[in-house]
Structure 1
Amino acid sequence: MKKIVIVNPGATSTKIAYFEDTDLVWKDEVIYTPDQLKDYAKIYDQFEIRYQDIQVLLENHGISQDLDAVVGRGGLIGPVKAGAIKVDAELIDHLKNHPVLEHASNLGAGLAAAIRDHFGNESCQALIYDPVTVDSMMPIARYTGLKEIQRKSIGHHLNMRAVARRLASDNGLDYDKANLIIVHIGGGATASAHTQGDIVDFVSDDEIMFSAERSGGLPVKEVLKLAKELGVQELSKKVRAEAGLQSLCGTKDLREIEDRVKQGDQEADEVIQAFALQLAKCIATLAVSLKGKVDYIALTGGMAHYDYLCQLIEERVNFIAPLKIYAGEFEAIALAKGGFRVITGIEKASSLEEAMKK
């Protein structure tokens, strides 16, 4: 039996879970208030407080020095291939000092190493799995109409690949041979086209669909007018933190909007229909990237709990392929299964250099 701990740092929390093989034994969470974190200028400045709290939590759960693997959520490394990456000093330094963006997930590797050093057995491995910058997009999908700008693959890869594997398994398919479209709709929204085990095209909420607080694609001429009026910094804040459902409904809480729809609010209902339309357009775009050969489509993330939204999307995309719902997120089990595959020899972990070469 293999003993595995996963660590998933988020903006105001650190999720911890303990698995025996791939069976969840317990999960827990350390939650921080904004006041507790306000004095930390950079994400990595939070490392000590986060690790100390994790150490206490693991000791309280009776974890001793016999772990076989610790798997952290991968941060914004830069373009890397999918799968497991070994945690070493080079990876930690990269995420601490040279990340693509500041994000709590950048702490995952360092926390995994610290847990390994204190709680692991002699052969315990520290890993990250499917970081948010996994990139296996086909070259032609990277192009835009400006030479200076390429499309990027940054998003919910860990959860989307976990759902893709589960979707394939649930329907008697080999993930490495299936053609799948996975859409994550939560606080942010991203979508991916999978073929032969690779995400060959990827769409974020900077592009087609809006999300809880991001604008999605916008008419460029109108954006230029707004940029002139607001300035770049204010415009960036507007399209990335004050847009989407937040702008259209005055809230990014889908449950509140759902209640309005149930009470007959026609404007809220129209926004949800528009949201569904944009998500369906995104799915259709990715179907083209798969040349129309799609086995299944899946919706995942917190917003996939909303039956009415899922129904509206299904009505528009069921001509492409059957739609399945995997509401919520599956990051903990994805990390645990990834670690299990590595320590049992099913899968090989890459070094940072190997992962970045793709």
Structure 2
Amino acid sequence: MENPKILAINPGSTSTKFAVFLGENQIFKETIRHEDKDLIHFPTVVSQLDYRLKLLIESLHYHNINLEELDAVVGRGGFLHPLKSGTYIVNKEMLDDLKTARYGEHASNLGALMAYELAKEQDIPAYIVDPIVVDEMEDVARLSGIPELERKSHVHALNIKAVSRKIAKRIGKDFQSLNFVVAHLGGGISIVAQRKGQIIDVNNANNEGPFSPERSGGLPAFQLVRLCYSGKFSEKEMLTRLTKKGGFYAYLGTKNAMEVEERATKGDKKAKLVLDGMIYQVSKEIGAMSAVLEGDVDGIILTGGLSFSDYIVQEITRKVKYIAPVFVVPGEAELESLALGALRILTNQEEARIYSVEINAY
């Protein structure tokens, strides 16, 4: 199929982003914003499905996007059981797990559901690509030190895989022949060791690795346990503090990295210390992942929203450039990554994977 027309959908907590691609070329892009007052009436994420679909269809019609001309619809992958990297056909098993939030509730769970509803009306395929639960970790990497606490792979796989392919293409080599350390720097931070295209180790962006604008990262275990049992916080409050009110926010009262950098530039010593502390921890984690690859690193890739910052990029580069060349791909091209994942299937470059509740990544 030459230059198929693909609709890509990326639902977030307060927005639904979507774009239409003709082959590799984006021909239209839009973001629908969702106000808290509109979402508060929905008891669960999945109950927002009809509401979001209605707004999406209205926007497509308004911009004269004809659904009958589409060849496929692809949505952001949500919380499913651990999966190998790739593009998956949306099937009944996947829909059932997402509708019941069997593995967790998140706005991205709506991606496959929305894609399926639109695709079935046109009798075309619906896909997801590299969801957050991509798990290619080696068994040794799963050990934490306590059997009940197995390390898990929750990772910005979609963007990490996409930027790795871009850099491989830039240097003229096959993606699956290279070893990369990739640092996705955003509201959460994922740093991975990627060997021959496989993410063999990763810090779980929700509870390990460097602190970020809103997440605490890895913490001193004894002190954390004592804080949990201090009576000052409920379980829900502690989880919120770890994932939404840690990092920059805990120290400085803001999650805005640009604001923190500006404050540091203007002489705010605490802001400078905290900003440099995050850079220090990111650099240390990159070093750790290079050890996982036994020093055989073809490149270090910095991506995500924080990599728009010249200061952050320059300081991390200064600390880790001795390991391997540093490449920078700022931002998160998630809609493009979704479309390219579907395109690889439609043009027979890859085979679509089948989701099954009986099969997981390991």
User: Cα distance 1:146–1:223, how it changes in 2: closer, same or farther (>3 A)?
Assistant: same
| 1:230-265 Cα shifts (integer Å, max 9, x gaps) | 343322222222110101111110111111112111
Aligned-residue offset at 1:155: 2.1
* Structure 1: runs of 5+ lacking an equivalent: none
State the 1:99 CA deviation.
3.2
Q: Tell me, in whole angstroms, the C-alpha distance in 2 between the residues paired with 1:294 and 1:6.
A: 33
Instruction: Percent identity, please.
Output: 36
Residue 355 of structure 1 deviates from its aligned partner by: 9.1
SS of structure 1 residue aligned to 2:125: strand
For 1:155-194, what aligned pairs fall within 5 Å after superposition? 155-194=155-194
1:208 is aligned to 209
The equivalent position to 2:75 in structure 1, one of 55, 68, 72, is 72
Contact (CA 8 Å) 2:93, 2:357: kept in 1 or not? no
Partner of residue 219, structure 2: 218
Query: In 1, are the aligned partners of 2:81 and 2:360 still within 8 Å (CA)?
Result: no
Q: Could you say if the C-alpha distance between residues 79 and 116 of structure 1 is closer, same or farther in structure 2, counting changes exceeding 3 Å?
A: same
Report 1:285-324 matches (<5 A).
285-324=288-327
Secondary structure of 1:78 counterpart = coil
**Normalization by structure 2: what TM-score?**
0.95
Shift of 1:276: 0.5
Counterpart contact for 1:81–1:356, Cα < 8 Å: no
Query: Please, which of 248, 251, 255 is the counterpart of residue 252 of structure 1?
Result: 255
Structure 1 CA distance for aligned equivalents of residues 246 and 29 of structure 2: 33
CA deviation digits over 1:29-48, x for unaligned, max 9?
A: 11101111011111000000
Ranges of 4+ aligned residues in structure 1 off by more than 3 Å: 354-358
Q: Which runs of 5+ in 2 are unaligned?
A: none
- Structure 2 residue corresponding to 1:85, chosen from 85, 88, 91: 88
Separation of aligned partners in 1, 2:191 and 2:290 = 11
For residue 10 of structure 1, what is the amino acid of its counterpart?
G
Q: Secondary structure at the match of 2:29?
A: strand
Contact 2:81–2:357 (CA<8 Å) still a contact in 1? no
**One of 50, 53, 71 as aligned partner of 2:52:** 50
Paired letter, 1:203:
N
SS in 1 for 2:71: strand
1:2–1:21 Cα contact (<8 Å) kept: yes
Deviation track 1:48-103 (CA, whole Å, cap 9, x = no partner) reads: 00000111111122222021111100000020111111112221111111432110
Tell me how many residue pairs correspond in the alignment.
355
Q: Give the root-mean-square deviation of aligned CA atoms.
A: 1.4
Instruction: Answer yes or no: is the 8 Å Cα contact 1:85–1:355 preserved in 2.
Output: no
Q: Please give the per-residue CA displacement for 1:189-240, whole angstroms capped at 9, x wherever unaligned.
A: 1111111111111113411200111111111111122111134332222222
Displacement after TM superposition at 1:174 (Å)? 1.1
Deviations for 1:277-312, whole angstroms, at most 9, x for unmatched residues? 100111011111111100111111111111111111
Of stretches 205-214 and 77-86 in structure 1, the one that deviates more from structure 2 is 205-214
Distance 1:354 1:291 in 2: 35
Contact 2:97 2:103 survives alignment (8 Å): no
Whole-Å Cα distance in 1 between the matches of residues 137 and 95 of structure 2? Answer: 25
